[in-house]
Amino acid sequence: MSIKLPKVIGHRGAKAYAPENTVESIETAASLGVEWVELDVKLTKDNIPIIFHDEELDRTTNGTGLIAQTNYEDLRDLDAGSWFGDSFVAARIPTLEEAVDIILKHDLGFNLEIKPCPGREKETAEVALDYLSRIWDDPSKLLISSFQHVSLEAAMDLVPDWARGLLIGGSEMPENWKDLADYLDVKTINLGSRLVTRQIADEVMDLELPLLVYTVNDPLEAKRLQLLGVDAFFSDCPDVILENLAGGLH
């Protein structure tokens, strides 16, 4: 089954307008008319899949310490919104289940990035995807991505029919990226925007895979990348990119 990718995917919900990776951020993205959202999943110490980006709690909550060393009970009541703005004081770190409930409520597509704590690459994929496999029934609106090849391997074993996306960041493409894409049988290549040259875009097109690029918040950059053949953009302000890519694009 092929996936129905939109032109713009809300990055961590709609990160420019609401605290990232929260229910509020997903709701905001939906209210902007975004069709898909991208969220990060990690495991707590007691193996609860939560929507969170960092290894540590400090940047986006009033808690402190490592996610991998914190039980869910100890982080579920943390304030995950005040750092962003006073009106988000009630925001919490959602479980994967809570996030998916909101995604399904709004009939959104979902890019789940498996963002494991070090050493938990396989486990994080297994726990998150085991849960998701019980409630997600439209594979055309789901993409499982990761920078971690072990996580994508686990996805390949567990839910072979779900589309996988190979995430690549940094300042240069790894030499073996095509071999990895082939081995992991990915359906998309997801690149950091500074990696995208005409040559790389052409090489991805030669593989006949969609090219997704993160994180693009400047409409001019989006237009430039679009001319190179980029298929979809991850954006913190997805409405701005959508608006500026309008005209035969959506």
- Decide if 250 is inside a domain: no
Q: Mean per-residue pLDDT for 216-245?
A: 95
Question: Quick one: pLDDT band at residue 247, thresholds 50, 70, 90?
Answer: low
Question: Quick one: pLDDT band at residue 16, thresholds 50, 70, 90?
Answer: very high
* Distance from chain centroid for Cα 96: 13
Q: How far apart are CA 107 and CA 155, in angstroms?
A: 23
Q: How far apart are CA 75 and CA 210, in angstroms?
A: 37
- pLDDT of residue 184 exceeding 90, the answer is yes
- pLDDT of residue 165 exceeding 90, the answer is yes
What's the number of domains the chain is made of? 1
- Decide if 249 is inside a domain: no
- pLDDT of residue 168 exceeding 90, the answer is yes
- Decide if 3 is inside a domain: no
- Decide if 1 is inside a domain: no
Q: Mean per-residue pLDDT for 229-240?
A: 97
Entry pTM: 0.97
Question: Quick one: pLDDT band at residue 246, thresholds 50, 70, 90?
Answer: low
- Decide if 171 is inside a domain: yes
- pLDDT of residue 175 exceeding 50, the answer is yes
Q: How far apart are CA 209 and CA 142, in angstroms?
A: 16
Alpha helices in 136-246 (DSSP H): 149-158, 177-183, 198-206, 219-228, 238-244
Q: Mean per-residue pLDDT for 173-182?
A: 97
* Nearest residue to 38 (alpha-carbon basis) of 120, 98, 112: 112
Domain residues for the domain of 168 are: 8-244
- Decide if 72 is inside a domain: yes
- Decide if 205 is inside a domain: yes
Q: Mean per-residue pLDDT for 61-89?
A: 97
> Tens digit of pLDDT for each residue in 132-144?
999 999 999 999 9
Beta strands 36-43 and 163-168 are unpaired
- Decide if 2 is inside a domain: no
Catalytically active residues are: 11, 53
Per DSSP, the three-state class of 204 is helix
- pLDDT of residue 248 exceeding 50, the answer is no
> Tens digit of pLDDT for each residue in 107-128?
999 999 999 999 999 999 999 9
Q: What is the CATH number of the domain that holds 145?
A: 3.20.20.190
- pLDDT of residue 224 exceeding 90, the answer is yes
> Tens digit of pLDDT for each residue in 40-61?
999 999 999 999 999 999 999 9
Per DSSP, the three-state class of 36 is strand
